[in-house]
Chain A
């Protein structure tokens, strides 16, 4: 069983400025992501965020 979850959010480079995507990573961190970075994948920006399991107690 995985102890972390990775989300990959794809945004088209044609319609989304890189600055907007980078700014969104800060909100992913504020929401509790362990890490959140922007990668590039072909025609897309990809926000890669890693999340821990929920508090259990």
Chain B
């Protein structure tokens, strides 16, 4: 409800900076009605759905489109990936950090994905076991079939 009112308030405040042609009285009245409605119970209910859409839109701000080969989805590759994910889960925190710090392969796509999931740029996978495992999961999930074999060679 508060977020919805703020969203409408932004429209009103922005409108106040415009001239009468761009933000006429009729538009201001409509925005004021929207501001009042956003603070009401029915408005809050609708706002919940709207907030969900905002969150959905937010989720799509960082989108990575990756062209994959069919062999990546084939059963043999899936079985190997499944086993690698199990191995990563079983790693100790220090081992996970060590492997995430010096992975067996470099992959520019994965590097970009890691950066996207690290908005603070703190590279938590270099010092936090759970983050290291999350990073390793990304590294193997977006590896090529050839690179999966290299991961297999360094995981227990």
Chain A residues near B (Cβ < 8 Å) = 1-12, 15-16, 20-21, 23-24, 27-28, 30-32, 50-57
B residues sitting closer than 8 Å to A (CB atoms) are 58-70, 72-75, 78, 81-82, 85, 113-114, 116-120, 122, 124-125, 128, 130-131, 134-135, 137-138, 140-142
Q: Could you count the A-B residue pairs with CB atoms below 8 Å apart for me: how many are there?
A: 106
Cβ-neighbour of A2 out of B81, B113, B119, B128 (below 8 A):
B119
Contacts of A53 in B (CB 8 A): 117-119
Residue of B whose beta carbon sits closest to that of A16? B70
Most B-side CB within 10 Å, residue of A20, A21, A50, A52: A20
Q: Which of B59, B73, B113, B140 interacts with A11 by CB under 8 Å?
A: B73
Q: Which residues of A contact B140 (CB under 8 A)?
A: 31
What chain A residues lie within 8 Å of B59 (beta carbons)? 2-4, 6, 50
Q: What residues on A are CB-neighbors of B113 within 8 Å?
A: 5, 7, 51
CB distance from B120 to the nearest CB of A (A): 7
Kindly report which residue of chain B lies nearest to residue A54, judged by CB atoms: B131
Bound-state Cα–Cα, A52 to B61, Å: 13
**Can you show 8 pairs from A to B with CB atoms below 8 A apart?**
A2-B61, A4-B58, A6-B64, A9-B66, A16-B73, A24-B73, A56-B122, A56-B131
Closest residue of chain B to A51 (Cβ to Cβ) is: B117
A24-B125 contact in complex given A11-B70, A53-B119, C-beta closer than 8 Å = no
Distance, CA A55 to CA B120, complexed state (A): 11
Q: Which of A9, A10, A21, A54 contacts B117 (CB 8 A)?
A: A54
